[in-house]
Structure 1
Amino acid sequence: MLATGAAVAALTLSACGAGGTSGGSSDTKFVQGKGGVDTVAKGDRKHAPEITGKTLEGKQLDLADYKGKIVVLNVWGSWCTPCRAEAPNLVKVAKDTEADGVRFVGINTRDSDRANAIQFEKEFKVQYPSLYDPIGKLMLRFPKGSLNPQAIPTTIVLDRQGRIAARALTPLSEEALRKMVEPLIAEK
């Protein structure tokens, strides 16, 4: 319980921040990129943790149902200015890559009232589902030393096998998001 509280506190301190370090050892096998984007070579990727829960609309969502698809997980909050800045880019790339087998899922965090998050989605015309995670429990499922979320916003891209392939600890431009997703679309 104390460890969970400490992790939540650490995440709260970095909320809406510009990034950080992985918190892992030197054998993490991921490459720290420029602009806050880290990637993992295909052979070194680790499976994402089980991510399940209720969406903002109250429907059950299980990330395992997306097996065989590339999944872009975006951790966001309606109160987060960088999240608001990147939202149109996420919406555009989600629409443009759907035919390529890419699915987007949001993880809304630190919004104590779903209404604020739902209003955010309406304002930015977000068509993909978002899990409602007001206290950050889903983010804590990612193991330390992995490409885990450490700031808000964070975007994590999973390959078709459900393995963590890339992470950005910064708000993404459309171009940067495409650079994270396109190599995975090309993988067979």
Structure 2
Amino acid sequence: MELLRLVVDEVWGGDVAHILGDELTMRRWAWRLVPPAVALVVGLGASGCSIGADAADDAADDSADGRWAVRSADDQDLTPPGERKPSPVMTGQTLTGENLELSSLRGRIVVVNFWASWCPPCQAETPALVMLAGRYPQVAFVGVNEKESATVAQGFVRHNEVAYPNIIDRDGTLAARWPGVPGLPTTFVLDARGRIATRVVGGVTAESLGGLLDRLAVER
């Protein structure tokens, strides 16, 4: 946070940093105020955005004690079916006011994407998610907005023409139940039995996620 404030101070002056104030607002505006090369040095545009130390610590504790054995899809691997763990129970109200229970999607492959509107990698991957949701109607896509208001999330969804349901995780409790959400975006792919087949930390692409969905569909 201090490094980010120093960069904004240097590029745009102390008045801007003073007006922006808190970290969340600084992050939301830094990409509009700071030249791209400088922003990369700060690290805002890396593979993911921080969602807070508590969630990261919880995820690390879960992995360390063996409660969750989830393979990251950095190398596009799927966890072997016999090693997959069931997804957590997740229920929430969508942005359209409906209740969504993850268990109701059992029988379908499910993509669960944790995101926030201020996160640049989340912004970058959204068109691919929207395209894939249209290309794979048999796959259920669910977005989980982290720690933002419904108004902010609705604006992002509307601007990006996101048709699949999104729920609000206002205090981060939903993310804390999942195995390893160290930052945003983080995407989980569930098999038709509701088990976690893989996890992608950082932004997805149409090619990478589409390949995973194709391979998972062959299992059924």
Do they superpose with TM above 0.5?
A: yes
> Could you tell me which residue of structure 2 aligns to residue 46 of structure 1?
85
Q: Please tell me whether the aligned partners of residues 63 and 69 of structure 2 are also in contact (alpha carbons under 8 angstroms).
A: no
Distance 2:168 2:144 in 1: 6
Matched, 1:34 2:74: yes
> Number of residue pairs matched?
168
Q: Deviations over 1:27-75 (max 9, x none)?
A: 765445536x563111110100100011122211001110100000000
Distance 1:133 1:42, change over 3 A: same
Distance 2:61 2:125 in 1: 22
Deviates more, 1:85-94 or 1:20-29: 20-29
Higher relative contact order (CA 8 A, sep 6+): 1
- Give the letter for the 2:111 counterpart: V
Shift of 1:135: 1.4
- Give the letter for the 1:12 counterpart: G
Q: Larger % of helix: which?
A: 2
The alignment yields a C-alpha RMSD, in angstroms, of: 2.6
Q: Which has the larger radius of gyration?
A: 2
Structure 1 unmatched runs, 5+: 1-9
Shift of 1:11: 4.0
TM-score scaled to structure 2, two decimals?
0.69
> Could you tell me which residue of structure 2 aligns to residue 176 of structure 1?
208
Distance 1:172 1:32, change over 3 A: closer
Distance 1:120 1:11, change over 3 A: closer
Structure 2 unmatched runs, 5+: 1-49
Q: 1:12 aligns with which of 47, 52, 58?
A: 52
Shift of 1:93: 0.5
- Counting aligned pairs with the same residue, the percent is 35
Distance 1:175 1:39 in 2: 15
Matched, 1:97 2:126: no
Distance 1:150 1:161 in 2: 25
Q: Deviations over 1:83-140 (max 9, x none)?
A: 1100000000111011xx21100001121x2111101111111000011111111111
